[in-house]
Amino acid sequence: MRLIYQISIYLYYFAVRISSLFNPKAKAWIEGRKNLKWEKFDSHYKKVVWFHCASLGEFDIGIPLIEKWQQENPDDVIVVTFFSPSGMQNYQKRNLPIEHVFYLPLDTPKNAKTFVQTIRPNYVIFVKYEFWAFHLFEAQKYGAKIFSVNTLFRKNQMYFKWYGNFYRQILNSFDHFFVQNKNSIDLLESIQIKNATISGDLRFDRVYENKQKVTSSTLIENWLEGEKVFIIGSSWPVDDKILFELINSERFKQKVIIAPHEINESHIKEIEKLLRVESIRFTDCEDEINRETKVLILNTIGHLTNSFQYGDVAYIGGGFTGKLHNILEPAVFGLPILFGPKHDKFPEAQLFIDKGFAFEVADIRDFKIKFDSVHRDKKDIESKLLQFMKGQIGVSVRILKQIQSN
């Protein structure tokens, strides 16, 4: 299986190389690894803490822990690696002071040995997913303490298959797993791995921190005139078709803010075509929005989180494609949440459903029923949800304390 893993790594590399001829993301992946900035890395014999994040999403998850580490250990050197271009191209937008950020080299024995011996990590922390075998094996040989945070395991993963011995060796490289739920603990114990703790989800810390940073928008406040708005976050076309049937109807009086999953021109035009009520793009707003405008389209990045403060109910997209967006972002503002039925990979979705904070919708008829029901119970849901979210804060502090006690 080790040989198959090595071959698959090379095959992946060649596939990306071919794709780079016509795919910008693949080209960035290849070009980024040509400029090996880590080869000149020098930690000046300080402690080195290496965080690996697959992409920008995992980096966002890890930010609370990175921040806490920097606050408590200001002399330690933080190294962050990314697998995907989305992380390398956008991490600076998070305004986190990290000097050493690199692409993770292709996971071959030679690359891994060179990388680990160059950065000489004392601690290695992999965020959520992507366990790269040879980099982990080399870090273990070097004597680094290795941790996985915000981890989720599922029964269908190769670690838990009869043929997964090599992949179980990867898991045995870790000193400790900080997992999100008991199911992950049970799966690890099924393969005799007991060094795991249910720590919670770092994203609770992240969304709470983001809530403290929201700013008021005179533009939106003047448009709403004290009203609360229905917020649609990260919607896909399948979501739009269901939601817009109600929004276009005469019975729907509420104003709407929609932040599409894709903000390219063709998708924005398709949204405008589906809407039969007056709408405006955020980029077309100047000093004010006409009070009669019913829908504000956020055709920008970075404004959705700030908008949740004006909402009373949120619909979060991706639940019909199996790629549910972050429901914790509206939850931290106390907004009841609606989403589609495909959320098996997101345990927080079922947790919120069980607690009565979120509601799954199957079609337009179901959406109308749930939407009306949520509004009737909104005050009670909001109160309980805010209390619950407050109780989840502190994951990064707990994880850091346990890591440093090892």
Q: Both 183 and 64 in a single domain?
A: yes
Last residue of a domain, one of 157, 173, 199: 199
Q: Both 40 and 179 in a single domain?
A: yes
Q: Both 278 and 142 in a single domain?
A: no
Domains in the chain, number: 2
DSSP codes, 239-280: HHHHHHHHHTSTT--S-EEEEES--SHHHHHHHHHH--S-EE
pLDDT of residue 318: 95
User: 313 near 371, Cβ under 8 Å?
Assistant: yes
Please report which residue ranges of 332-394 form alpha helices under DSSP H.
347-355, 364-376, 378-391
Q: Both 312 and 362 in a single domain?
A: yes
Question: Which CATH number goes with the domain that contains 191?
Answer: 3.40.50.11720
CA distance 184 to 172: 15
- 10-residue averages of pLDDT along the chain (406 residues): 90 92 90 78 84 95 96 94 92 89 94 94 94 97 97 94 94 97 96 95 95 93 95 94 92 94 92 94 91 94 92 96 95 97 94 97 93 93 96 95 88
Q: Both 173 and 250 in a single domain?
A: no
Domain membership of residue 267 as a residue range:
216-391
CA distance 159 to 145: 21
Q: Both 275 and 319 in a single domain?
A: yes
pLDDT of residue 1: 82
Task: Report yes or no on 209 lying in a domain.
Answer: no
Q: Both 127 and 92 in a single domain?
A: yes
pLDDT of residue 41: 80
Q: What are the CA-CA distances from residue 99 to residues 43, 77, 94, 141 (Å)?
A: 11, 9, 13, 26
Tokens standing for residue 384: 């309980």
pLDDT of residue 255: 96
Q: Could you give the maximum distance between any two Cα atoms of the chain, in Å?
A: 68
Q: Both 37 and 152 in a single domain?
A: yes
pLDDT of residue 99: 87
Q: Both 120 and 257 in a single domain?
A: no
CA distance 194 to 177: 9
CA distance 266 to 394: 42
356: left (phi over 0), alpha (psi -120 to 50) or beta: left
Last residue of a domain, one of 135, 167, 199: 199
pLDDT of residue 16: 92
Last residue of a domain, one of 141, 173, 199: 199
What is the sign, positive or negative, of the torsion defined by CA atoms of 270, 273, 277, 278?
positive
pLDDT of residue 301: 82
pLDDT of residue 95: 87
Q: Both 381 and 277 in a single domain?
A: yes
CA distance 104 to 93: 20
Q: Both 173 and 221 in a single domain?
A: no
pLDDT of residue 33: 86
Q: Both 137 and 222 in a single domain?
A: no
Q: Global pTM?
A: 0.89
Question: Which CATH number goes with the domain that contains 229?
Answer: 3.40.50.2000
